[in-house]
Amino acid sequence: MLRDFDVPKTPIDPYLLKRWDRQINYFALFEREGFNARKAQEKLKNSTVAVVGIGAGGSSLISLLSAAGIGNIVGVDFDTVEEVNLPSQIFFKESDIGDLKVKAIKKHITSFNSSVNCEFYNKRVESTEDVYEIIKGADFVFDAIDEPLYYSALWVTRACLKANIPYVSIGSSDKASRVGPMVIPGKTPCYECLGLLPIDKFFYEHKYDAAIMGANVLMVASIAVHEMIKLLTGFATPSVLGKTLHINTEKMAFDYIEHAIKPDCICHSLITYEHA
């Protein structure tokens, strides 16, 4: 039941009102002039979100996006579900082993939310153009691709800059997890401004099997989706806008690192402002 303080009688699809009434109640906590809880939920229904990579982070993100009521989800991955994936890719089942991840995740989210429109591509991403062709037209992009680390981060960054689409990435390995920074092209520092890409290159050249826990992956995915909803609906300012949230998973210590736009970064010449 909608709470009493959700007074504005903004017309809304009865299905949205019934299924997401608890979430609408949450949005209503932030109601003010220019922001309406029901319109916020409709905004999510009409939004398109792209997820590049459907591994531990990507599969968690897609499931959370569907739960939040995102109406259109686009994803890409080339891999199949393996038994070793199940502890960290918790939305896959034993019966999915051997199936393409794009097939398994589509089966999962459409059985959970039949109203979502989803388009998944079984494809190995190998260039900026590959990413661009998948994300163009989206309202937001999640970078959840894990290899090749250096090049994949570069491709997603440059594709989002070209399409002028906000994006964010998540990561979890060993005793550390990360959300952000969230990038709005032309307004906040991109990943090349931060110098993150050479760091990714180091890990790419010294690759080792990740030490991860499903609970940590789901934690950062949940935070990232919450931050994206802030941006899309306007109910609050994202806390990771131009900042990275670092989490020490041993001590549960949360630290923010603020970043600055690099004056001579290539991002200034890549932004095309073609996505309004």
pLDDT tens for the chain, residues 1 to 276: 554 444 455 667 888 889 999 999 999 999 999 999 999 999 999 999 999 999 999 999 999 999 999 999 999 999 999 998 888 888 899 999 999 999 999 999 999 999 999 999 999 999 999 999 999 999 999 999 977 767 888 899 999 999 999 999 998 888 889 999 999 999 999 988 887 554 444 444 445 567 889 999 999 999 999 999 999 999 999 999 999 999 999 999 999 999 999 998 888 887 754 443
Distances (CA, A) of 102 to 81, 157, 169, 225: 9, 22, 19, 20
**What total number of domains does the chain contain?**
1
| Pair 145, 170: CB distance under 8 Å | no
Q: Is 147 among the domain residues?
A: yes
CATH number (domain holding residue 120):
3.40.50.720
pLDDT at 226: 98
Domain assignment of residue 98, given as a range: 47-270
CA dist., res. 186 & res. 270, Å (int): 10
In sequence order, what E strands does the chain have?
A: 48-52, 72-77, 117-122, 140-143, 167-173, 176-179, 243-248, 253-258
Other Cβ atoms closer than 10 A to 128: 19
Q: Is 30 among the domain residues?
A: no
CA dist., res. 149 & res. 191, Å (int): 13
Tokens 């131009």 found at: 242
Q: Is 39 among the domain residues?
A: no
Q: Is 29 among the domain residues?
A: no
pLDDT at 79: 95
The pTM for the full model equals 0.91
Q: Is 86 among the domain residues?
A: yes
